[in-house]
A = this chain, B = another copy of it.
Amino acid sequence: MQCLEITDLRNRLIRQEETIIFALIERAQFELNPTIYEPGRIPMPDFDGCFSDFLLFRTECLHAMVRRYTSPDEHPFFENLPVPILPHIDYPEVIRETSINVNDRILSLYKSHILPAICRLGDDGQYGSSATCDVACLQALSMRIHYGKFVAETKYRQDLGAYGRIIRDGDRDAILECLTDADVEAGIYRRVERKAATYGRDIDVDGDVGVYKISPAEIAKIYRKWIIPLTKEVEVDYLLLRLDG
C-alpha cells in the first residue's frame, strides 16, 4: 500500500470544514420544511422514501454513472446504483478496502439533529432548493466522516506495535483511547467555530454587520457531538478490520 502524507491528510480534513460550513450556511437560508423529510408525503415514482432522499438517490445515480463511488473517499447513501459509464480507474491502495459505510447514521443524525440546529422551523415552500442543499451537506459530511479510514490507517502506521496488540485483542475501548487526542480535537472545535463565525457573517458595503447566518457555537457543537465521534467510530471499525486478509 502507498503511504498517505500526514500533512496532506490534515490539509484535506481542514479544507473539508469549509465545504461543510458553506453547505450548512446554504441550507440554513431555507426553513426546515419538514414536508420533504416525510416518506410518501410527496409521492415520487418508484421510490418509497421522502422527497429529500429521492433527490439524493437520483443524484447518486447520476454521480455513480460518472464513477464517483469507485473513489476510495466516496461512499454512497443508496445501494443498487447504476454502473459507471466511464472506464475503471485503478486508484493507488492507500487504505484497506472495507465495507464500512455509516451513511445511514449520517442521514439520520442530519435530519434529527443537524437540520433543527441550523434551520428556522417552518415551511417556506422551497422544497427543491432545500433538498438540493441537503445533497451537498450530506455528501460533505459523508466524505469527512469516512475520512476516518485514512486517519486510522495513518495513525496505525505511526505505531504498528501498540495498535497491533489492541486490535488483535479486539479491544474497542483501548483502540478508541489510543486514537483520541483531546488537544487536537479541542483545536478542531476552536477552528471550526472561528470559520463559522467568519464565513457565516453578513457583510455590508461598509463591512461586517455583526449578524451570523448560522450560530458558530452550533457548528462547533455539531462537530463535537456528531462529526468527530462518528469519525472515531469509523476509525475503530476500520482498525478492527485492519489485520484481516
User: How far does the alpha carbon of A71 sit from the alpha carbon of B129 in the complex, in Å?
Assistant: 11
| A15-B29, A85-B45 as given contacts; A67 in contact with B203, CB under 8 Å | no
- Chain B nearest CB: distance from A127 CB in Å? 8
User: How far does the alpha carbon of A127 sit from the alpha carbon of B67 in the complex, in Å?
Assistant: 10
The listed residue (B29, B65, B132, B190) touching A205 by CB distance below 8 A is B190
Query: Contact flags (1/0) for A117-132 with B, using CB distance below 8 Å?
Result: 0000000000110011
A204 neighbours in B (Cβ, 8 Å) = 191
Let me know if A86 is at the binding interface, CB within 8 A: yes
Query: Contact flags (1/0) for A83-111 with B, using CB distance below 8 Å?
Result: 00110000000000000000000000000
A195 neighbours in B (Cβ, 8 Å) = 203
Let me know if A25 is at the binding interface, CB within 8 A: yes
Flag if A42 contacts B86 (CB, 8 Å): yes
A31 neighbours in B (Cβ, 8 Å) = none
The listed residue (B29, B55, B199, B208) touching A66 by CB distance below 8 A is B55
A191-214 at interface with B (beta carbon < 8 Å): 191, 194-195, 198-199, 201, 203-205, 207-208, 213
Let me know if A22 is at the binding interface, CB within 8 A: yes
The listed residue (B62, B85, B136) touching A62 by CB distance below 8 A is B62
Which of A59, A71, A86, A205 is most buried by chain B, counting CB atoms within 10 A of its CB?
A205
Flag if A128 contacts B68 (CB, 8 Å): yes
Flag if A62 contacts B63 (CB, 8 Å): no
Flag if B198 contacts A201 (CB, 8 Å): yes
User: How far does the alpha carbon of A131 sit from the alpha carbon of B59 in the complex, in Å?
Assistant: 13
A205 neighbours in B (Cβ, 8 Å) = 187, 190-191, 194
**Can you offer 27 A-B residue contacts whose CB atoms are under 8 A?**
A15-B29, A18-B25, A18-B26, A22-B25, A22-B199, A44-B85, A54-B66, A55-B62, A55-B66, A58-B65, A62-B62, A66-B128, A66-B131, A67-B128, A68-B128, A136-B136, A187-B205, A190-B205, A191-B204, A194-B205, A195-B203, A198-B198, A198-B199, A198-B201, A198-B203, A198-B208, A199-B199
Residues of A participating in the B interface, judged by any CB pair closer than 8 Å: 15, 18-19, 22, 25-26, 29, 42, 44-45, 51, 54-55, 58-59, 62-63, 65-68, 71, 85-86, 127-128, 131-132, 136, 187, 190-191, 194-195, 198-199, 201, 203-205, 207-208, 213
Further 11 A-B residue pairs, CB within 8 A, beyond A58-B62, A63-B128: A19-B26, A22-B25, A45-B85, A55-B66, A63-B132, A187-B205, A194-B205, A194-B207, A198-B203, A198-B208, A199-B199
